[in-house]
Amino acid sequence: MMEEEFYTVYKGVYLPSSVYTPESLKYFEEFVFRPDDIITIIYPKSGTVWMQEIVPLIMSGGDPAPVDTIVNWKRVPWLEAHQTSSLKLEQRPSPRLLTTHFHYNMMPSSFFEVKPKVIYVMRNPKDVFTSSFYHHEAASFLVNPGPQTEFLHKFLDGKVMFGSWFDHVKSWLNAEDREHIMHISYEEMIMDLKDAVGRMAQFLQKSLDHEAIEKIADRCLFKNMRKNNMSNYSTVPRVFMDQTKSEFLRKGIAGDWKNQLTVAEAEYFDTVYKDKMKDFQYKFAWE
Ligand code: A3P
251 lines ligand 1 (CB under 6 A): yes
Residues above pLDDT 70, as percent of the chain? 100
Domain range for residue 46?
3-276
What are the CB-based long-range contacts (under 8 Å, 24+) for 232-241? 235/71, 239/140, 240/139, 240/140, 240/141, 241/138, 241/139, 241/140
| CA–CA separation, 106 and 11 (whole Å) | 7
Task: Find the 116 Cα to ligand 1 centroid distance in Å.
Answer: 25
Task: Provide the pLDDT confidence category of residue 15 given band limits of 50, 70 and 90.
Answer: very high
The answer to the question of residue 45 being in a domain is yes
What are the CB-based long-range contacts (under 8 Å, 24+) for 151-157? 152/261, 152/265, 152/268, 152/269, 155/129, 156/268, 156/269, 156/272
From residue 9, alpha-carbon distances to 75, 128, 195 in Å are 27, 21, 39
CATH of the domain at 204: 3.40.50.300
Task: List the residue whose alpha carbon is closest to atom 12 of ligand 1.
Answer: 47
User: pLDDT digits over 38-61, tens only?
Assistant: 999 999 999 999 999 999 999 999
| CA–CA separation, 240 and 138 (whole Å) | 8
The answer to the question of residue 235 being in a domain is yes
User: pLDDT digits over 116-151, tens only?
Assistant: 999 999 999 999 999 999 999 999 989 999 999 999
Model pLDDT, residue 7: 93
The answer to the question of residue 284 being in a domain is no
42 lines ligand 1 (CB under 6 A): yes
The answer to the question of residue 287 being in a domain is no
Task: Find the 220 Cα to ligand 1 centroid distance in Å.
Answer: 11
Q: Which residues pair with 78 in a beta bridge?
A: 99
189 lines ligand 1 (CB under 6 A): no
Residues above pLDDT 90, as percent of the chain? 95
Q: Is residue 101 among the annotated active site residues?
A: yes
The answer to the question of residue 281 being in a domain is no
Task: Provide the pLDDT confidence category of residue 3 given band limits of 50, 70 and 90.
Answer: confident
Q: What's the mean pLDDT when you consider all of the chain? A: 96
The answer to the question of residue 74 being in a domain is yes
Model pLDDT, residue 214: 98
Q: Which residues pair with 118 in a beta bridge?
A: 39, 181
**Vertex 257: Cα angle to 174 and 225 (nearest 5):** 80
> How is the beta sheet containing 117-122 ordered, strand by strand?
97-100, 38-42, 117-122, 181-185
| CA–CA separation, 188 and 286 (whole Å) | 9
User: pLDDT digits over 254-272, tens only?
Assistant: 999 999 999 999 999 999 9
| CA–CA separation, 238 and 248 (whole Å) | 12
The answer to the question of residue 38 being in a domain is yes
Q: Are strands 97-100 and 38-42 parallel, antiparallel or unpaired?
A: parallel
| CA–CA separation, 54 and 6 (whole Å) | 31
Instruction: Look at the chain and report how many structural domains it folds into.
Output: 1
For 181-205, what is the mean pLDDT? 98
Q: Which of 49, 35, 22 is nearest to 186 (CA)?
A: 49
For 204-221, what is the mean pLDDT? 98
Task: Provide the pLDDT confidence category of residue 212 given band limits of 50, 70 and 90.
Answer: very high
The answer to the question of residue 285 being in a domain is no
Give the largest CA-CA distance in the chain. 53
For 148-162, what is the mean pLDDT? 98
Q: Are strands 13-16 and 7-10 parallel, antiparallel or unpaired?
A: antiparallel
Model pLDDT, residue 178: 87
On the question of pLDDT at 1 being above 80, the answer is no
| CA–CA separation, 245 and 242 (whole Å) | 6
